[in-house]
Amino acid sequence: MNMPAFMNGAKKLLIGGEWIEAQSGERIDAINPATGDVMCQIARGGTGDVDRAVAAARHAFEGEWSRWTPHQRRKLILKVHDVLLDNFDELALIETLDMGAPLARTRAFREWTSQVIQFYASHTDAATTEAAPNSLPGNFMTLKRKAPVGVVGGIIPWNGPLMGQWWIFGPTLATGCTAVIKPAEDASLSVLRTAELLLEAGVPEGVINVVTGYGRDAGQALAEHMDVDRVAFTGSYVTAQSIIRASAGNIKRVQLELGGKSPDIVFADADLDKAVPGAAMGVYTNSGQVCVAGTRIFVQRPIHEEFVARMRDFTRTIRVGNGLAPDTQLGPLISQRQLDRVMNYVEIGGREGARLASGGTRLGGELASGFFVEPTIFAGVSNDMTIAREEIFGPVASIIPFDDMEEAIRLANDTSFGLAGGVWTRDLSTAHKVSDAIDAGTVWVNCYGVLDPAVGFGGYKMSGYGWKGSREHVDSFLYPKAIYMNLD
């Protein structure tokens, strides 16, 4: 397979429409997680670079861009859509090389990306001005405006930047805000290539800026910056806690999409032909590096053993390998650090008494130099074990038996997270009652992981706050403003 020319040479920061080196001149290796090879280097941006990028974003926000009409922004977003789709095979390949997901998955984002960009293109009229009724004595006219919030700092994780960046770029372009995005140090390449394409499509300089680098310097500087009006963060709750503290300086608005330990409940009446692969891939998709992964699979006791056996059989059919191979279904984990973390949880699971029903080892042979783990099943797990409480972010499923609906709901909600959940049943009443009772931002019934950008998603409890997708998301890039006019 031909490697994209983009992969050659060190990558720079995008600030004010120019590609420039980090002030420090330092760089970070971009490692292919399937092979462990260094592919190229990205710039290690720091505080000074973030300062420059935020200044460029502010300048753009207050300049010509602020006078663009909704129609102009819509046309621009649709142009971006076309340029991106024309180059999507290359973008998908870059994503596969950089973060490991199979080409079958990254290419499939083409349709999704198209839908998301078109969704935001259809909301460029969100910054409205409306006459509001008022009860004031005298002759007043009152206007209510929704005005763009300003400079947005976007901080995203490594598990799917090709997709994740659109939750920042989409509403930024739709509302007339500007953005500085800080991709994850482990996977920045698809964001950098997308940024090149945004410029090519005509996004004005300074509207979108990209500062690569580590979270503790570039990310922290962005979260603390006194001239950033809103931070949109996706990542772990520990980093989110630091971001909330960092946001206090100028009381910036914060949106947080964090992790989960989502329950997926399989009742005895479920159609197991659907529930087994559905629940299994609800954990294993993207090698388990998915925020909504349904990692706690609650199975009603009468079908528990059958479910474990069928899930084990299914799991053994999954092809794990280099994402460039056309038949690969699961790629590697992102890094050695993530591999160590996942293997540590596998060890803890065994030590705490969970039964290893499948997997549990790092893959060797021709995959030995990459960060590959077999899809893993622990059975006979209890909800208070470490593997059922902490987010592993790897292909590790915990199967937990339950007796009745009340117990399933109680155990499902016995977690500090609230991102998502699933229910598998043929009974309508069970489906309604349980989906209503699960404390989470999204619940799937007889399916798992589907997402419509027009509906959106968000977290509850320690899975964060704010909503991505839907009109609500666009509105969160605006702030409300009242204007009273005395006409006498």
**Residue labelled with tokens 């799937």:** 444
Size of interface with ligand NAD, in residues (CB under 6 A): 28
Q: In this chain, which of 46, 171, 219, 395 binds ligand NAD, going by CB under 6 A?
A: 219
Q: Return the residues of window 365-404 that contact ligand NAD according to CB under 6 A.
A: 391, 393
Stretch that binds ligand NAD, among 68-76, 100-108, 256-264, 313-321 (CB under 6 A): 256-264
* Burial (CB count <10 Å: 0-12, 13-18, 19+), residue 70: middle
Binding-residue pattern over the window 416 to 455 for ligand NAD, x denoting contact by CB under 6 A: ---x------------------------------------
Q: How far is the CB of 290 from ligand NAD (least distance, A)?
A: 7
Centroid of chain to Cα 64:
31
Q: 224, 257, 374, 391: which is the annotated catalytic residue? A: 257
Q: Are strands 230-234 and 253-257 parallel, antiparallel or unpaired?
A: parallel
By beta-carbon proximity to ligand NAD, the closer residue of 220 and 329 is 220
Stretch that binds ligand NAD, among 125-133, 172-180, 204-212, 234-242 (CB under 6 A): 234-242
Up-side HSE of residue 136: CA atoms within 13 Å toward CB? Answer: 13
Q: In this chain, which of 96, 175, 194, 220 binds ligand NAD, going by CB under 6 A?
A: 220
Residue type, 266: V
Binding-residue pattern over the window 452 to 481 for ligand NAD, x denoting contact by CB under 6 A: -------x----------------------
Task: Respond yes or no: is residue 257 known to be catalytic.
Answer: yes
By beta-carbon proximity to ligand NAD, the closer residue of 156 and 320 is 156
Q: Is 99 in the site for ligand NAD (CB under 6 A)?
A: no
> Shortest CA distance to 321 belongs to which of 278, 281, 375, 358?
375
Are 441 and 458 a contacting pair, CB within 8 Å? yes
Q: Is 235 in the site for ligand NAD (CB under 6 A)?
A: yes
Q: In this chain, which of 61, 88, 109, 158 binds ligand NAD, going by CB under 6 A?
A: 158
Q: Is 157 in the site for ligand NAD (CB under 6 A)?
A: yes
Q: In this chain, which of 49, 95, 98, 185 binds ligand NAD, going by CB under 6 A?
A: 185
> Where are the extended beta strands (E) located within 327-436?
355-358, 376-379, 396-402, 417-418, 420-424
Q: Tokens for 274, please give them.
A: 């659907």
Characterize 139-161 residue by residue with b for buried, 16 or more Cβ atoms within 10 angstroms of its Cβ, and e for exposed.
Answer: eeeeeeebebbbbbbbbbbbbbb
Centroid of chain to Cα 23:
29
> Shortest CA distance to 421 belongs to which of 255, 266, 233?
266
**How many whole angstroms separate alpha carbon 278 and alpha carbon 258?**
23
Q: Is 234 in the site for ligand NAD (CB under 6 A)?
A: yes
Binding-residue pattern over the window 117 to 156 for ligand NAD, x denoting contact by CB under 6 A: --------------------------------------xx
Q: Is 230 in the site for ligand NAD (CB under 6 A)?
A: no
**How many whole angstroms separate alpha carbon 478 and alpha carbon 130?**
14
**How many whole angstroms separate alpha carbon 480 and alpha carbon 459?**
23
Are 483 and 314 a contacting pair, CB within 8 Å? no
Q: 185, 224, 291, 374: which is the annotated catalytic residue? A: 291
Q: In this chain, which of 195, 223, 272, 339 binds ligand NAD, going by CB under 6 A?
A: 223
By beta-carbon proximity to ligand NAD, the closer residue of 168 and 223 is 223
Residue 178 sits at φ, ψ, to 5 deg, of -130, 165
Task: Respond yes or no: is residue 447 known to be catalytic.
Answer: no
Q: How far is the CB of 22 from ligand NAD (least distance, A)?
A: 15
Length of the chain: 488
Centroid of chain to Cα 390:
18
Q: Is 168 in the site for ligand NAD (CB under 6 A)?
A: no
In this structure, how many other beta carbons lie within 10 angstroms of the beta carbon of residue 9? 9
Binding residues vs ligand NAD (CB under 6 A): 155-159, 182, 184-185, 214-216, 219-220, 223, 234-236, 239, 242-243, 257-259, 291, 391, 393, 419, 459
Catalytic residue set: 257, 291
